[in-house]
Structure 1
Amino acid sequence: MTPAEWTRPEHVVETLRRKWTSGRYLTAAAGGHPFEAIGVPLKGPTAADALQHYEQALAWAQCWAPDRNPHLRIQTKSIGGRNGTPSNTVPARVWVDTRDRLWTLLRVTTQVDRFHTLHEQTARQDPGIARWMADHPMKVLAHAADWHRLVRTTCWIRDHDTEAVYLREIDIPGVDTKFIETNKGILAELLDCVLPESRVNTSAPKSDLVARYGFRAKPMYIRFRYLGTSPLPFSELTVRAEELNAHPPNARTVFILENETTYLSLPPVPDAVAVLGSGYAATLLRHLAWLKDVDLYYWGDIDTHGFAILNQVRGLFPHTKSLLMDRATLLGHEPHWGEEKTQAPDVLSHLTPEEAQLAQDLRNGTYRPHLRLEQERISIAAIRVALTQSQREP
């Protein structure tokens, strides 16, 4: 072993600091566990090394002098003494005998005191959070500057019916939605440990506090326009989805579209309404039970996502017909083909055989890998023909 490989005091400190960083020492302290002396073995010179590298061996032994390492207990051993070699006493292992010596050696006394203060104060507000703190002390220290606000926020949510309020309505001095969004990761961990299982939607990600903890969600809005004569003073309206529970007058046919430009440019159709889905058609339409009583068409992009949304809509309303989502439309617009960057999952149980085969061909790259035809690229002439045919269908 070369002198460069001999253990020096800074190496021991590095070893102990790695274990400190894991949180194991503070966890034991917070749990009230008795301190067990920590021993660290030392790599040092052999008898042959001491003869070959005498000056380095002497300097190494001196760096372990007790007066240079007041927070360590030095355990020694004898080397040499055989075959005529001199016997020498060298450091073999060092010990840290108390927590105070460990904190001082690592220069973390201020952090330890800070953690214990926060732990004691939090235990008076919520013992569950205090138990979590004991298991995750380094996370507590990482958020020490905001800890009191984090605890107050957690306790406020614990004590209130979140279904009745928006996240914005959390009323705590010094806490606003910006603070909550910035700290949603640590808040989610605290909430998971203090709330009953019935108040935690584990299927929602921790990044979505509203869905995971049952806050009042931002309402869904439906935007629709009359394609024929409007019976209202307006040709277009945007309303809350849950409030559009009555069949709009003069709406015998409903077209669901995903693209706003296409939605706005649809030509006139008697007794028809266009609804802008914006990629969330199935989520929006579940509020509209009256759609079962109209002629319903869904028109999306010809790609795997378009067929996935069609599948969802038809799962809600089995009588839904697709519009301009067929092979003839795809092949008739080859100059306008594009690329679908990511494909949707292949779980489609509500498509017609023709739709399912086209969706599979798109997935397999039959015509071109990741082929896509966006609805806004379909010619106005084709749209007019399709709308006219829809009016003739029984």
Structure 2
Amino acid sequence: MTPAKWTRPEQVVEALRRKWTSGRYLTAAANGHPFEPIGVPLKGPTAADTLHHYEQALAWAQSWAPGRHPHLRIQTKPIGGRNNLPSNTVPVRAWVDTRDLLWTLLDVTAEVELFHTLREQTAQHASDLARWMADHPMKVLAHAPAWHRLVRTACWIRDHTAEPVYLREIDIPGVDTKFIETNKAILAEFLDHVLPEGRIDTCAPKSDLVARYGFRAKPAYIRLRYLGDFPLPFSELTVRAQELSTRPPGVRTVFVLENEITYLSLPPVPDAIAILGSGYAAALLRHLTWLNDVGLYYWGDIDTHGFAILNQVRGLFPHTTSLLMDRTTLLSHEAHWGEEKTQAPDGLPHLTPEEAQLAQDLRNGTYRPHLRLEQERISIATIRSALT
């Protein structure tokens, strides 16, 4: 073994610090486990090394002199004394005998005291959180500056059992929606411990505080435009999706589009309205069960994402007819072809055979790799002909 591979004092401290960073030492202390002395083996010179590298071996042994390490107990053993080799005593293990010595060695006494203080204070308001803290001490220290606000937020949510509210309505000094969004990961861990099972939707991800913990969600809005000659003082509306639960009087046909300018420029169509999907058509349309009773047309881009949205819409409303999403339209607008940067996943069970084949050709690059035809590039004459 070369002198470069002999264990240096700073390497022992680094090894102990890595275990401290994992939280294992503080967890053991928080759970009341008795401290067991920690021994770190030392790689040092052999008897032959002391003969061939005497100066380096002496310097290494002196670096482990007990006086230099008041927080460590250095265990030694004799080496040599046989085969004409000189006898020497070398360090073989460094011991930490108490927790206080460990905290001092790692210079974390202040952090330990802070952790215990925060845990004692938390236990006064949320004993279950105090138990969680014992198993996640490093998360506690990482969030120490905001700890009391985080605990107050979790307790406020726990104690608020009235009707659901928006996150904005949490009323705690120093806490606002920005604070909640910034700390939603740690708050989710808190809430999973302080809330009863009935108030946690485990199907919703922890990143979605609103859905997982029963807050009021921002309503979905539907923007619709009247295409027919309806006796109304307006031609366009934006309404909450859940409030559009009944079919507007006189509507027999509905067109769903993804592009705003195409939506705005649609020509008149008797007894019809247009709905702007904006990429989320299926999420919006699920509220409108009356769409089962009208002629429903979906028109999206001719690309893999357009067919994926069509597949979602038809999964809700099987009678949905696609509009201008066919091979003839694609091939007749070659001058307007573009590129789809990322393609949607395969597996679209609700497409017709013709739609499915075209979607597969787009995915395979039959005409051109990553081919797409955006709906706003289709000629007005083609649109009018399709709507007539």
Query: Under a length normalisation based on structure 1, what TM-score does the superposition of the two structures give?
Result: 0.95
Distance 1:298 1:111 in 2: 60
Q: What is the aligned residue count?
A: 388
Residue aligning to 1:10: 10
1:97 equivalent in alignment to 2:97: yes
Distance 1:181 1:115 in 2: 24
Residue aligning to 1:391: none
Q: What is the deviation of 1:228?
A: 2.0
Residue aligning to 1:63: 63
Confirm or deny: 8 A CA contact 2:164 2:214 kept in the other structure: no
Distance 1:84 1:360 in 2: 82
Q: What is the deviation of 1:162?
A: 8.0
Distance 1:62 1:94 in 2: 14
Distance 2:330 2:72 in 1: 78
Residue aligning to 1:338: 338
Q: What is the deviation of 1:239?
A: 0.5
Change (3 A) 1:76 1:162: farther
Q: What is the deviation of 1:151?
A: 1.1
Structure 2 residue runs of 5 or longer lacking an equivalent are none
Identity %: 83
Residue aligning to 1:133: 133
Residue aligning to 2:382: 382
Secondary structure of residue in 1 paired with 2:134: helix
Secondary structure of residue in 1 paired with 2:228: coil
Deviates more, 1:292-301 or 1:48-57: 48-57
Residue aligning to 1:260: 260
Residue aligning to 1:230: 230
Residue aligning to 1:72: 72
Please list the CA deviations of residues 126-171 of structure 1 after superposition, one character each: whole Å capped at 9, or x if unmatched: 2221222111111111111111111111112222248611111111
Specify the code of the residue in structure 1 equivalent to 2:70.
P
Residue aligning to 1:392: none
Confirm or deny: 8 A CA contact 2:226 2:236 kept in the other structure: yes
Confirm or deny: 8 A CA contact 2:245 2:289 kept in the other structure: yes
Distance 2:138 2:73 in 1: 27
Distance 1:180 1:94 in 2: 46
Specify the code of the residue in structure 2 equivalent to 1:102.
L
Residue aligning to 1:204: 204
Confirm or deny: 8 A CA contact 1:39 1:94 kept in the other structure: yes
Please list the CA deviations of residues 92-150 of structure 1 after superposition, one character each: whole Å capped at 9, or x if unmatched: 11110000000000000000000111111112222221222111111111111111111
Residue aligning to 2:85: 85
Deviates more, 1:97-106 or 1:319-328: 319-328
Secondary structure of residue in 1 paired with 2:203: coil
Please list the CA deviations of residues 283-323 of structure 1 after superposition, one character each: whole Å capped at 9, or x if unmatched: 11111122222211111111121112112212222222111
Change (3 A) 1:271 1:192: same
Q: What is the deviation of 1:363?
A: 2.0
Distance 1:124 1:92 in 2: 47
Change (3 A) 1:377 1:161: farther
Root mean square deviation, CA, Å: 1.5
Change (3 A) 1:162 1:274: farther
Distance 1:87 1:368 in 2: 81
Secondary structure of residue in 1 paired with 2:263: helix
Confirm or deny: 8 A CA contact 1:162 1:216 kept in the other structure: no
Secondary structure of residue in 2 paired with 1:296: strand
Please list the CA deviations of residues 176-217 of structure 1 after superposition, one character each: whole Å capped at 9, or x if unmatched: 011111111111122223323333333333222112222111
1:358 equivalent in alignment to 2:358: yes
Please list the CA deviations of residues 339-378 of structure 1 after superposition, one character each: whole Å capped at 9, or x if unmatched: 2222222232222221122122222222222221111111
Structure 1 residue runs of 5 or longer lacking an equivalent are 389-394
Confirm or deny: 8 A CA contact 1:162 1:215 kept in the other structure: no
